């Protein structure tokens, strides 16, 4: 059985990670859709970093829910499996999905990358974030930075050890390109053939590429299931062979068990 799963914020919502949509996602009365942009970062990097640090903290204290666990179970039992998640948190990974079976198409919130060169800090090295080695840099050096007018900012903002530019969260902001390497991994999976089961879960599928990948993985005329798990109707609903109008954590355990039972090799 070949499986493609596409997930979005709805999967993490039940772990207490707020979605960007609606008032719940607001932070200090600010709209995340306006904070998660290159423009916001250029205008006020400190504010954007504060938001990301709070989000990192919230994710660290969150736990994977039943949907993450069910998807990990499916990954384990499918012959071929790929998860493409729009979530930047690490809850899928913590539920046990191997790195090579997962694409984080909107990046990884725990990565800190240089805004200029290719340097990146995966944040997995045990060092607490943000990279604080900057605190050791003499203030005189900081005075030369137009971006960091006070010594407090110098301590708070991470700078690249390679090229000295400001570091930023390793996520894809609104208006930015998707990461090429991750895109290739999705394309490679789609190119290798249709999927027997495609599940689109916890996403309103507002991004055209999500709809596109779901439809390419489950082309018309090829026997396969295209299952949507989402409380609300989306652009993809009209194409689905099965609609599950429930939150992910409620629906996924049963759905995965059913799929595994249906596809069990005799």
Distance of CA 258 to the CA centre of its chain: 27
Number of chain positions touching Zn ion (CB under 5 A): 8
Return the residues of window 123-162 that contact Zn ion according to CB under 5 A.
Answer: 160, 162
CB of 161 to Zn ion, least distance (A): 8
Q: Which of 77, 106, 254, 263 is catalytic?
A: 106
199 lines the binding site for Zn ion (CB under 5 A):
no
42 lines the binding site for Zn ion (CB under 5 A):
no
- 92 counts as catalytic: no
119 lines the binding site for Zn ion (CB under 5 A):
yes
CB of 172 to Zn ion, least distance (A): 18
CB of 159 to Zn ion, least distance (A): 8
114 lines the binding site for Zn ion (CB under 5 A):
yes
Question: How many alpha carbons lie under 13 Å from residue 17 in its C-beta half-sphere?
Answer: 26
66 lines the binding site for Zn ion (CB under 5 A):
no
Cβ–Cβ under 8 Å, residues 189 and 105: no
Could you give the CA distance from residue 25 to residue 18 in angstroms, rounded to a whole number?
5
CB of 207 to Zn ion, least distance (A): 29
Could you give the CA distance from residue 78 to residue 34 in angstroms, rounded to a whole number?
39
166 lines the binding site for Zn ion (CB under 5 A):
no
222 lines the binding site for Zn ion (CB under 5 A):
no
163 lines the binding site for Zn ion (CB under 5 A):
yes
Residue 215 contacts by C-beta under 8 Å, 6 or more apart in sequence? 226, 239
Per-residue tokens: 34: 């306006």
CB of 93 to Zn ion, least distance (A): 26
Q: Which is nearer to Zn ion, 64 or 142 (CB)?
A: 142
**To which residue do tokens 């919502």 refer?**
13
Residue 144 contacts by C-beta under 8 Å, 6 or more apart in sequence? none
111 lines the binding site for Zn ion (CB under 5 A):
no
Q: Is 31 strand, coil or helix?
A: coil
Cα–Cα nearest to 169, from 118, 216, 223, 110: 110
Task: List residues with catalytic annotation.
Answer: 106
Q: Which residues bind Zn ion (CB under 5 A)?
A: 114, 116-117, 119, 160, 162-163, 165
């Amino acid at each position: 059985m070949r499986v493609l799963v596409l997930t979005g914020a709805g999967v993490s919502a039940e772990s207490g990670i707020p979605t960007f949509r609606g008032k719940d996602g607001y932070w200090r009365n600010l709209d995340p859709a306006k904070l998660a942009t290159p423009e916001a970062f250029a205008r006020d990097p400190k504010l954007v970093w504060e938001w990301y640090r709070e989000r990192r903290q919230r994710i660290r204290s969150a736990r994977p829910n039943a949907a993450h666990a069910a998807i990990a179970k499916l990954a384990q039992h499918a012959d071929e499996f790929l998860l493409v998640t729009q979530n930047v948190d690490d809850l899928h990974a913590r539920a046990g999905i191997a790195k090579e079976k997962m694409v984080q198409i909107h990046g990884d919130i725990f990565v800190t990358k240089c805004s200029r060169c290719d340097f990146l800090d995966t944040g997995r090295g045990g060092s607490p974030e943000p990279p604080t080695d900057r605190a050791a840099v003499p203030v005189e050096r900081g005075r030369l930075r137009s971006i960091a007018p006070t010594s407090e900012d110098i301590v708070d903002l991470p700078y690249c050890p390679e090229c000295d530019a400001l570091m930023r969260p390793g996520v894809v902001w609104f208006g930015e390109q998707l990461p090429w390497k991750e895109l290739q991994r999705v394309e490679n999976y789609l190119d290798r053939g249709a999927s027997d089961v495609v599940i689109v879960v916890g996403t309103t599928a507002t991004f055209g590429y999500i709809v596109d990948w779901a439809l390419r993985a489950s082309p018309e005329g090829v026997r396969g299931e295209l299952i949507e798990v989402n409380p609300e109707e989306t652009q993809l609903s009209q194409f689905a062979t099965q609609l599950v109008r429930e939150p992910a954590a409620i629906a996924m355990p049963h759905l995965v068990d059913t799929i595994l039972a249906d596809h069990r090799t005799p």
